[in-house]
Amino acid sequence: MLRLTAALVLALGLAFGAEAQVAGKLTLYTSQPDRDAAQTVEAFKKRHPGVAVEIFRSGTTEVMNKLQAEFTAGDPRADVLLIADAVSMERLKADGRLLPHPGADLSQFPAEAHDRDKTYFGSKLITTGIIVNNKATMTPKSWADLLKPEAKGQVSLPSPLYSGAAAIHMAALSAIPSLGPKYYESLSKNGAVAVRGNGAVVTQVAGGERMYGFIVEFMALNAQKKGSPVTFVFPTEGVSAVTEPVAALKTAKNPAAARAFIDFILSKEGQELAVAQGYLPARRDVKPPAGFPPLADVKLIPIDVPAAIRADEANKKAFADLFGG
């Protein structure tokens, strides 16, 4: 009887106590905004108080550049990544850099939200549309409207040299037949200006320095809720989307904590935190934030990920030539 009880206790401990045993240092590389990154880490540490989290935060492009430099030096320091787009994750997967997490609970996630080999997992849906200052003389309905005379010198763009979402967006718009690869060249000729990231776009448009901007929807909707004089437009051609995937590296020094972090991001608690931060969740059983349209009503521009990878460097060079680095 004592042996049976001991075995039962051990089994229960293995089944339910694994999370509590996670400890040590966890290094997170992320492109989340500062506030979101801090909230995410704080919530994770409440579940895993024995883990000390160190963060490097920047735009996805800079995060990937730092990581690549560390790979080259033979000293990758990140345990877990939480970045903007699947394109970057696909590159890492192709290079054999990602640690699979076969035990991840994906029962409430659509198949397209995660890698089929369970190396990276989409945590939310972040779309890019148009932010408009309410004093603008024109309300654009399409991406093409930003080439009109009314928008001359009034468009602000986040740079794909810094933002992963902006890089995906450039690839998506360039593939639309009605816009094509010349669209960004036309924007430049119409006086559009580039800024470093999406946050700078919000600042310019909300402040009236520019009337229009390319923006991830949650930033525009959150600014609107806080009283900024802006509106978010879902253009008729559709919106591009990134899923902010999370993944552990094969070289993680604390793989148990890295997988625990992934589990937290995918948990109902983690997804409800994403909603509280103003994002569309990836889980089916978590309601989206107030003010967001039903996902079924959002027209997404299809992304050919392999094609986007092949075009990425050329797109970034073209953007830098047009708008500066």
Three-class DSSP labels, 270-315: HHHHHHHCCCEECCCCCCCCCCCCCHHHCCECCCCHHHHHHHHHHH
288-303: average pLDDT: 81
pTM of this prediction?
0.74
Task: Identify each DSSP E strand in 152-266 by its residue range.
Answer: 155-158, 193-195, 212-216, 230-233, 240-242, 245-249
| Confidence category of residue 10, pLDDT binned at 50, 70, 90 | very low
pLDDT tens across 149-163, in order? 999 999 999 999 988
Contact 278, 289 (CB under 8 A): yes
Measure the CA–CA gap between 124 and 283, rounded to whole angstroms. Answer: 8
Does pLDDT of 138 surpass 80?
Answer: yes
| Confidence category of residue 181, pLDDT binned at 50, 70, 90 | confident
Whole-number Cα distances in Å, 217 to 7, 62, 207, 231, 261: 52, 22, 17, 10, 25
Whole-number Cα distances in Å, 3 to 6, 8, 9, 10, 128: 5, 9, 10, 11, 59
Contact 167, 316 (CB under 8 A): yes
| Confidence category of residue 12, pLDDT binned at 50, 70, 90 | very low
Burial class (CB in 10 A: 0-12, 13-18, 19+), 298: middle
Does pLDDT of 242 surpass 70?
Answer: yes
Question: Lowest-pLDDT range, 109-113, 185-189, 194-198?
Answer: 109-113
Measure the CA–CA gap between 249 and 161, rounded to whole angstroms. Answer: 23
pLDDT tens across 258-269, in order? 999 999 999 999
CB atoms within 10 A of CB 97: 20
Return the CA Rg of the chain.
21
